[in-house]
Amino acid sequence: MVNIPSILVIDSGVGGLSICQSIMSTSEANEQNLQIIYFADDAFSPYGLLEELELEKRLESIVSSMLVLHQPDLVILACNTVSTLLLPQLRAQFDVPFVGVVPAIKPAAKKTLTNRIGLLATPATVCRAYTDALISDYAAECEVIRVGSNELVTQAEALLAGEKISLNVIETVLEPFISEDIALEVDTIVLGCTHFPLLKQQLQEVLPNVSWVDSGEAIAKRVHDLLGQMSHGHTHSSDASLVHQIYFSESLPDQFTFKSALAELGIKDSKLHLLNIS
């Protein structure tokens, strides 16, 4: 028996897998094994359209159920909406560390050379008060061009399902960041939805001279710092520890295609489950 840390990652779809990719990459670099337990709540997607009370009850049910099933060492809320609205309540209710995700406005403001940055997120995220506060606190001297897109969420989901994605759709979404005047173009764009880093290769094809910033690396560092502060992880058998558990609440994707996509993200051995949580 070995002590392998386990991490529960929750999102309304597969977008949070970009966070898992960063975590697994950091784990590999640190020669550390860990187990990913991922819950894709596709029955209630997207979270940004739910009322706060409904969202709170839903997350309480998911966390309660997954704590019983897996006893993870920490929980990642891989959704900007959930993180900003519910993180304090969930931390107070459950005896397990929580890590939230917010758009990487602060590092983007530090990175830009032109003080013109873009925010690419879902429509709900770009217009929320917490986004205004992040910009006011960390990018007050920058011009921030905000673009909200649900189309890119669909494209990212299609990519992991092995379906063809449309570069034309991506080009259309990115048009507001492009200017005929080079001096007015953004040089840094924040990927403010966890789905969007999954499309980084395609985004770079359209805007190759832009620096793309997301929260994955910072979240991975925070996770490994927290795990390092713990005396030990939960005990798993050496075989089971290498199998990552992926849950869906409404429908399962094609097993072969999806597991192949997971392997490319660093989640090499996985088991898919359908779990209806009421």
**pLDDT, tens digit, for every residue of 14-37?**
999 999 999 999 987 776 789 999
Active site residue 142: no
- Tens of pLDDT, residue by residue over 111-136, are 999 999 999 999 989 998 999 999 99
Q: Taking CA 191 as the corner, what is the angle to CA 186 and CA 196, rounded to the nearest 5 degrees?
A: 125
Whether 2-100+216-274 and 105-213 share one fold: the answer is: yes
**CATH 3.40.50.1860 applies to domain 105-213:** yes
Beta pairing partners, 148: 121
Nearest to 21 by CA among 226, 196, 150, 174: 196
Choose which CATH entry (3.40.50.1860, 3.20.20.140, 3.40.50.1000, 3.10.129.10) describes domain 2-100+216-274.
Answer: 3.40.50.1860
Q: What is the average pLDDT value for the chain, to the nearest integer?
A: 91
Which amino acid, 139? Answer: A
Considering 20, 127, 142, 193, which one is annotated as catalytic?
Answer: 193
Q: Is 115 left (phi over 0), alpha (psi -120 to 50) or beta?
A: left
As a whole number of angstroms, the distance between CA 153 and CA 147 comes to 13
State the pTM of this model: 0.92
Active site residue 79: yes
Strand, coil or helix: what is 116? strand
Domain boundaries, the chain: 2-100+216-274, 105-213
Whether the predicted pLDDT of 242 surpasses 80 = no
Q: Taking CA 252 as the corner, what is the angle to CA 86 and CA 47, rounded to the nearest 5 degrees?
A: 20
How high is the pLDDT of residue 179? 77
Summary count for the chain: helices (H), strands (E): 11, 12
Span 138-151, average pLDDT: 95
